[in-house]
Structure 1
Amino acid sequence: MDPTPWRFEIEKFDRKGDFGLWKFKMMTQLEIQGLVSVLQKETSFESDITKLEEGVEVKKNLKKAERDLRVRSLFITCLSDVILRKIMNETTTLRMVKAFERDYQSKSLPNFMYLKKKFSCFRMEENKPMEENFYSSFLKLLADLASIKIYFSDEDQAIQLISGLPTAYEPLVHTIQYGTRKATLTVNEVITAAYSKEAEIKQKRLTTRGIHSKDLYSCTFHITQLRDLLSEFVEFEGNKVMIGKNSFCIVRGMGKITIDNKDGSSVTLSEVRYIPEMERNLISYGQLEQSGCSYNGRDYMVRFYKGGMEVLSGMYNN
């Protein structure tokens, strides 16, 4: 037996998951257990049995067969039933892995063309945070390309990234393209600049779209149409919300928003519903009261207090 205890915690892979990331986790687990060699050289139980009968390398073959069986068992427990049915008749781990790699890391011409076209047409989603666009979308695409031996230089990646920035980042694109005299561009430079621009856009939205310095609109619960303002975000498809006569929108998730006041203090709103179709951010007086706030209004100005201190204020609109 190997001295390292046999422990693992890897989610099952199904068709909807990220195969490249799942495979990376699996290979890491095998490296920890010292079992990666099982996937580097073909092992045949049949040939091992023949050798055992002939009295050749008995201990060596027993050890090899045992290690292959352990790795094969690990893969079986980490695959969904749909995928497992396709490869369950493969007799060794290496053959089993090669069988489902053919489905998910195919080097066929259609897959080659699809991934290259996806890279050349890459665009970030307007309502997604920069981090999610970069790490969950762009880097995943690069990993899928690498799995079929397609690689791009850092400069090519940087150019595609800046070309795929959302519309709100056009001033940044113009600055990088024409405002510098650099002959080269790196992915790190684009991402660093994009993060800074994202912070600027968030602050501008907070101060111009009714969160803390313009208008406070009353509603049943807090609502925002800006996904990138939400922290601890949970995506789901919720109930329909009426926004006008015979007009409905669907809640797409929920999270928290931190509001910065002019005096430097801040307040965090919980259970903020995300509804992309809304035209403005809405703050619920009822939810604030339930959290222990009180409020009063005068001269179309409303102020919220908690524990005797003002926590939020704004112009009143109904």
Structure 2
Amino acid sequence: MSMKFDIDKFDGSRDFGIWRRKVKALLSQQKILKAIEGPEKLPDSLTVEQKDDMLEMALGTIILNLSDNVLREINDEKTACDVWKKLESLYLTKSLTNKIYLKERLFGFKMDASKGLGKNLDDFKKMTIELANAGENEKLSDENEAIILLNSLPDSFKDVKAAIKYGRSSLSLEECISALKSKELELKIEKKDNGENLFVRGRQPVKNHNNNSNNKIKGRSKTPNYRSQSRNRNGSRKCYFCGKEGHIKKILL
């Protein structure tokens, strides 16, 4: 039974490191991963025809997962191995300038308060992977990644930052992320509780307040305005009870 895996086509703007890993997993599932290393890497037990089939299948798999603009870049390459090497040379830049740029961006990373913790962590992980792909010796240690992440935290996480910094003898990225997720959950619960406390303290929602105000206004409009009715346009007084002019009967309180 064959299994189908959908991979977003690489268009040159996405994360090449992630795309490359997905395609390698797909080639491995098809048992043709060795084909991208060249014909000489295929098992000697295979016939020439079997090797050709594997090489052809690997080339087709890679091409079908590339967008048209990237295909034009590797149009002259004829084998899966050559296409793979060309893609790495184009999109796994290992120049000194690129390394400096990646490090500056990672070391200066600050979490965006308008995004959730999950999105910020995803952005951070993407930068660490891109730096690791820039060279064999560029991957940061787990502790250094954790330190950079702690330095990127907003003020709302300052208490958990202090607890992590001073409350342990070692530091790992996994423990750091776990603590941050727990803190985020605590902040969400706090926010929810603060909203509910408005009712505990006896405050009414704005909508109800407006309704009460409207009722009061309507109530006033129905109350007879005796003062306005006690005089006509000529200034003569009218009786408060019968409404006729010429006499006024006082109201005894």
The one-letter code sitting in structure 2 at the alignment partner of 1:33 is Q
Aligned-pair RMSD on alpha carbons? 2.7
Higher relative strand content: 1
Distance 1:99 1:76 in 2: 13
Q: How far 1:175 sits from its partner (Å)?
A: 2.5
| 1:245-256 equivalences in 2 (<5 Å) | none
Structure 1 residues 1-318: aligned runs within 5 Å:
5=2, 7-41=4-38, 60-134=47-121, 136-148=122-134, 149=136, 150-178=138-166, 180=167, 182-208=168-194, 211-214=195-198, 301-302=204-205, 316=209
Answer whether contact 2:39 2:55 (CA < 8 A) is retained.
no
**Aligned partners of 1:172 and 1:87: how far apart in 2?**
49
CA contact 1:212–1:314 (8 Å) conserved in 2: no
Indicate how the Cα distance of structure 1 residues 301 and 100 shifts in structure 2: closer, same or farther if over 3 A, else same.
same
When residues 315 and 117 of structure 1 are mapped into structure 2, their CA distance, relative to the original with a 3 A threshold, is: farther
Q: Sort the Cα spacing of 1:160 and 1:300 in 2 relative to 1 into closer, same or farther, 3 A.
A: closer
Give the partner amino acid of 2:67. Answer: S
Task: List runs of 5+ in structure 2 lacking aligned partners.
Answer: 212-253
Alpha-carbon spacing, 1:71–1:317, altered in 2? closer, same or farther (3 Å): farther
SS in 1 for 2:8: coil
2:147 alignment partner, SS class: helix
Separation (CA, whole Å) in 2 of partners of 1:194 and 1:315: 38
Show structure 1 runs of 4+ deviating over 6 A: none
The letter for the 2-side match of 1:301 is Q
Report how many aligned residue pairs link the two structures: 204
Separation in structure 2 between the aligned mates of residue 183 and residue 315 of structure 1, nearest angstrom: 55
1:163 to 1:97, Cα distance in 2 relative to 1, 3 A:
same
Closer, same or farther in 2 for the Cα pair 1:316/1:207, shift >3 Å? farther
Correspondence for 2:240: none
Match of 2:47, SS state, is helix
Q: 1:201 to 1:85 in 2, by over 3 A?
A: same
Larger radius of gyration: 2
SS in 2 for 1:152: coil
Output the TM-score relative to the length of structure 2: 0.71
Residues 35 and 197 of structure 1, relative CA distance in 2, 3 Å threshold:
same
Aligned-partner Cα distance in 2 for 1:40–1:26:
14
Instruction: Output the amino acid matched with 1:214.
Output: L
Deviations 1:248-292 (A, max 9, x none): xxxxxxxxxxxxxx8xxxxxxxxxxxxxxxxxxxxxxxxxxxxxx
Deviation at 1:198, TM superposition (A): 0.7
Partner residue of 2:246? none
Q: Is the Cα–Cα contact under 8 Å of residues 300 and 316 in structure 1 kept in the other structure?
A: no
Instruction: Answer yes or no: is the 8 Å Cα contact 1:126–1:166 preserved in 2.
Output: yes
Task: Report the Cα distance in structure 2 between the residues aligned to 1:108 and 1:42, rounded to whole angstroms.
Answer: 29
What one-letter code is carried by the residue in structure 2 that aligns with 1:21?
Answer: I
Gap change, CA 1:316 and 1:196, over 3 Å in 2:
farther
Instruction: State the one-letter code of the partner of 2:175.
Output: E
Identity in percent: 30
Q: How far did residue 41 of structure 1 move? A: 2.6
1:281 alignment counterpart: none
Judged with a 3 Å threshold, the aligned counterparts in structure 2 of structure 1 residues 37 and 6 are, in CA distance, closer, same or farther, namely farther
Structure whose residues are more often helix by fraction: 2
Residues 6 and 33 in structure 1, CA contact (< 8 A), matched pair in contact too? no
